[in-house]
Homo-oligomer: A and B are copies of this chain.
């Protein structure tokens, strides 16, 4: 991807817009204005944030609204901050991200500055992580691994009742209970997350289902943990599928196929390789094992998603490891997560987060894989 020439305007919080955090190193729960003009970065924050921003936003010129010569009314709105800053810089046209707020874009246009929507990634360099970013993602991945072990430990200790429901410490063991174990472990390691997946039985056939209710023996339990670090904001991502007690033969076959596809995808990973090559390695292995991807009535079944995605300040970011011609680069942090989903059986997904290197790849934090527990 080519780099943009010209200034780029961001308005929002760093939660809404990780690019602001990436470009300013400033974490702003409240909205700010960031103007990126070549190597220069200009940040407008409220009076309250000014002191902190000056300390934390390294190499960034920080302004309070009153420092920009805005009208009193202009000092009170984000669009007013943005317009005042751009006038000060003599800017007549500015790039804005695709998710820029339409009302602010209109106000900028009315002030005589033309917003141009970016069609490509604004910071394609975000996909290649610096060593400090890799260290951050490792921290979150470590939290994911520890949370996974805590969850798997609870499930493995569960009793199997006569009706095959799982029991733990005298109560039915539910998705909710296991999820709470995971949240506590994440908090303990400085991370948080929402919508962690603990989906049992046929619920796991939908890769987006969070899961609810009592977990059962001899059925798949998909556990997908994606913690975000509360200080630096980088994510981790890890999925395992387990089964308490013996797994049915077909589930074992699915697991074996996904595990093998996971291995084949990893074998294909190396800087310079096309994302599609990695995805095809996984997809072909799943097909070779006899598993069909398609539709059961209207519902998608089989290997129904891409093989992976980049992980960083966003949980899903470039590069997408699917059917595209993007080439992996050394320093990409990606997930490898083939899966198989059938509505009458459930799902299997195995996901690791890895670093792409010149000669292959490295686990960020290794984590054991075992179906029957």
A201 CB to closest chain B CB (Å) equals: 15
Q: Does A184 contact B (CB under 8 A)?
A: yes
Contact A194 B195 (CB under 8 A): no
Q: Which residues of chain B are within 8 angstroms of A51 by Cβ–Cβ distance?
A: 206, 299
Binds B, one of A94-102, A163-171, A327-335, A361-369: A94-102
Known: A100-B102, A102-B102. A207 touches B48 (CB 8 A): yes
CA distance A101 to B106 in the complex (A): 12
Contact A194 B230 (CB under 8 A): yes
A165 CB to closest chain B CB (Å) equals: 22
Task: Please state the number of chain copies in the assembly.
Answer: 2
CA distance A98 to B101 in the complex (A): 7
Q: Does A187 contact B (CB under 8 A)?
A: yes
Contact A47 B101 (CB under 8 A): no
A157 CB to closest chain B CB (Å) equals: 20
Q: Does A370 contact B (CB under 8 A)?
A: no
Q: Does A300 contact B (CB under 8 A)?
A: yes
Closest to A300 in B: B47
Q: Does A49 contact B (CB under 8 A)?
A: yes
A residues near B (Cβ < 8 Å) are 16, 29-30, 47-52, 64, 66, 96, 98-106, 115, 117, 180, 183-184, 187-188, 192-195, 206-209, 230, 298-300, 304
